[in-house]
Amino acid sequence: MRIRMIIRGIFGLGSLIALNRISASNRISALNRISASNRISTFYGLSALYCLSAFSVSAQKTSAQSPYHREIQATIRSLTLKEKVGQMTQLNLDVVSVGEIYKLKEPHTLDTVKLKEALHSRKVGSILNCGGHAYSLEHWRSIQSTLNKLAQQAPGSFIPLIYGIDAIHGANYLHEGLLFPQPLAQAASFDSALVRRVAMAAAYQTAASGIPWNFSPVLDVARHPLWSRFFETYGEDPHLVSELGAACISGYQGTHPSRPTQVAATMKHFLGYGMPHTGKDRTPTYIHPRQLREWILPPFEAGIRAGALSVMVNSGELNGIPVHADPEILTNLLRKELGFQGLVVSDWEDIEKLVTVHRVAANYKEATRMAVMAGVDLAMVPNDYRFTDALMELAESGEVPMKRIDEAVYRILHVKHSLGLFNRQLPEPISQFPLMQTDTFHHLNMESARSSWILLKNRRQVLPLAKGSSVVLAGQALDEPFCWNGAWSRTWQGVDPRWDTMNAGISLIEAIQEYFQLGLTIPAPRVFSSDARVEANTLQSMRTDAEQAPLIVVVAEKPSTEKPGDIEQLSLPADEIAWIRRLCAAHAGPKILVLVQNRPRIISSIDSLFDAILLSNQPGSAGTRSLAELLSGGYSPSGRLPYTYPAREHSLMTYDHKHTERLHTDFSMNAFQPAYAFGHGLGYAPIRYESLELLQPLPARATDSLRLRVRLRNEGVYTQKETVMAFVSDSVASITPPAKRLRAIKAVVLQSGASTEVDLVFPISSLGFVGRDLKHTLEPGWFTLQVGPLQTRWEWIP
C-alpha cells in the first residue's frame, strides 16, 4: 500500500507544481483545498524524492507549504540565530512606548531608545495591541510609518515587521473606525454575505491604519452561555459558525491578501475554548474526541479551506493538558491531519502561564521549550524579552532543534510574503482608501444593525408603534453607548468614558426622539433598591401623565470580556427584577422589553409582564437608531436566535441535544423547554410555509446532494426577509443521534402578498456523523428533513 501511496504522491506533486502557475495570492487557498488523502499521498511522494535531494527532510517538506519557498529558504539561510528568534517574538506596543507598561504617558508617543532595542538589537519581528485605547487614523499611520522605517534600518537581513490588532467588530481601536454589531449580533442575520461585507469593511479601515493582521474571527462554538466571550462567537451551531466564520475570513483576506485593503485573518482559539466546563473563562474543558470532531473542529476546517493565514491557541486546557503545550493538538491534528499551512501564534502571556497558572512547567525556559516544540511559531510574549532569551539558550543547547526554529520562521515569513510586506511600505498612501471619506460603511453598519434585532415576542401585535406617538422610556443604557457597543470597542472592556464614547453612536434617548414623542424618561438607578418609595414620584408620573403610552424598558448587560466578564449566574439580580416589576405594575399601557446583552440572561420571571420582547447581542454604534426605526415600523425585524435561549439557570441545553435529554419527570418527552428556541425570530409580516418537496434522483450516491424545495408566502403588509433553514434528524444510528442538526440556510426577501420557491441544497454526506472510530460515518436509514413547520422523510440506501 505504501508503494502505491508513493506512486500516487509523485503524481500528486503535479498539483503542487501547478501552484506555481497560479497567482501568488491564490496559492494558499489552493493548497488548503487539497484533500487530506492527497496530502498524505503527496507526503509519501515527497518522502521518496527526499533521498535524491541535498536538502533536509524538514526543509523539503516545507517546500510544499508556500509559493514563496525559494525566497523564504534564501532568507532563512541568511539569518542569524538571534534574527530567527526575533522573528518568533511578538511584543506589546507598551514595550516600545514612553511610560510604564499599562501606564503609558499621554498622548501616546513611541520611545526611540526602546524601539531600537526591540527592532535593532533584539530583531523583534512583530508588535501588537493599542497601548490601552484607540487612536486616530493619523496617529496609527504615524506609528506604523515609524515602526516600519526603523525595521528597514535594522542591521543585517531586512525582514518587514508585522503588526497585529484585535479588530473584533470593525476597526474598533481606530477613532474613525465604525463599531459594527458584535459577532453574535451579526450571527442573528444567518447571512454569510452580510458577514463577509462587514469583514471587508473592517479590513479596509484596519488596513488604512497601516495594520496588516487582525486577530479575528473567533471560531469557537459557544456551547456554554455563561462564558464571558459568548458574544464574540457566531453561536452554538457548528454549521452556522463554519459558514459565517469562513465568510468573515474571506472578507478580511479577499482573493488577494496582499492588496492594500486586505488583512490577514486569525482563527481563534484552537481548540475547545468555547466550552469551558464551569462556564468561566480560561478554565478546563473536557471534551470527548468524538464530540471535539463533531462540534468544535468543523469551523476551523472551514477556516482552513477559506485560506486563513494564522491561528491563535486556546488559553485554557483541554482534557487536562494546556493547549499551548499539546503537540497532539497543535502539530498532529492542526498540521498533519488538517494540513494547516499558516502560522500559529500564542495568546497573551500564555507561555508564562504554563508556569504560573497551569503548573506544567517548572520555569519559563521549560515553558518556552514545551510551547515551541508543541507547535507555537510566534509567542505573544508580550511585555519583556524572557521568551527571546530563553529560546536563544534552548537553541544553543540543542534542546529546541534548529530545524524546528527554521520551521516556525518559515511559516512567519510565508504570512509576511502572502501579505506582500516585502514589496510594499506600510502604511499605504491614504489615497488607496477613498471610502474612508464616504458614507458607504455607515450604510453597511446600519444594515447590519437592523439585521441583528430579534423579535422574540409580539403579543397582540403591539409592535410596530405609530411613528410620532408618545412613549415612556425606562431602564439602562439610555444616554450612554457602552452597552450597545460592548467590549473590544475603543478599549478592551468597552466602558471607559474617556475613550469609549468616541464615534460610538447617538444615545437611545436621541434616537427615540427622532421617531417618537418622548413623554417620560426613567433611568434605572445605579444601585437597585427594594424600597418602592425610591421611585414613588416617578411611578406616580407614569400613572397620571403617560398612563396609556407604550412603556419601553431597556435591560442591558454591562460590557465585559475574558476574565473580567466571568459571572456567577445567568439570572438577572433580584433587586433589578423587583424594580422592573414595580415599573410594569405602575403602567397600564403596552409594555416592550429591549434586551442588549453579552449572553442570554434569564428573563423567565419578567417575560410575562411584557407584550413584546426585542433582543440584540450588542448591535454596535448604529444600534440605537436601528432600534428606534424598528419600533416605529421603518422595517420589519428578521433576526434569528443563533443559540438556544435558556428558561432556567441550570437547564442549559443546546438545540442539538440528545433524545435522552428530552425525558421529563412525568416520563413524557417534553423536558426540553427553552425560553426561546435556536432559530426563533418573528417579523412584522407572517410568512406561511405552504409546501415542502424533496427533489432527489434515485438511486442517490453519497457524493450527491439533497435538494429541498419549499414554497413561501408573505401574508403581511410589510416586506419581510425570511431565513429558511433545513434541519435533519437521523432515526437510528450507531452513535446516539441528536434531536436535529442544521444543514442548510438560505435567505429570501418577500414583498407583501408575494410567494416564492426556495431551494435548499446540502450534500448527502452531511447526514453522517463522527463514528466510534473517530471517522466520518454515513449509515443507511431513514432521515426526517424539516423546513419551518414542514417535514418529509427520506431513506438513504447506499
Q: Quick one: which of 267, 274, 260, 153 has its CA closest to 210?
A: 260
Determine contact, residues 753/686, Cβ cutoff 8 Å.
Answer: no
Q: Which grid coordinates belong to 715?
A: 401574508
Is omega for the bond preceding 107 within 30 degrees of 0, making it cis? yes
Q: Quick one: which of 192, 329, 185 has its CA closest to 248?
A: 192
Other residues' Cβ atoms within 10 Å of the Cβ of residue 701: 9
Q: Quick one: which of 187, 265, 170 has its CA closest to 231?
A: 187
DSSP letters, 671-705, are ----SB-TT--B-SS-EEEEEEEEE--SS--TTSE
Catalytic residue among 191, 220, 281, 347: 347
Q: Quick one: which of 472, 471, 500 has its CA closest to 484?
A: 500
347 in catalytic set = yes
Is omega for the bond preceding 183 within 30 degrees of 0, making it cis? no
CA pair distance 271, 743, nearest whole angstrom:
23
Question: What contacts 158, CB < 8 A, 6 or more positions away?
Answer: 151, 152
Is omega for the bond preceding 160 within 30 degrees of 0, making it cis? no
Cα dihedral sign, 257-214-349-112: positive
- What dihedral angle (degrees, nearest 10) is formed by the CA atoms of 184, 186, 191, 192? -80
Helices (H), 279-363: 289-291, 298-305, 327, 353-356
Q: Which grid coordinates belong to 70?
A: 525559494
Contacts 24+ apart (CB under 8 A), 99-105: 101/383, 102/132, 104/131, 104/132
Determine contact, residues 411/377, Cβ cutoff 8 Å.
Answer: yes
Cα dihedral sign, 390-395-401-403: positive
Other residues' Cβ atoms within 10 Å of the Cβ of residue 510: 15
Q: Which residues are known catalytic residues?
A: 347
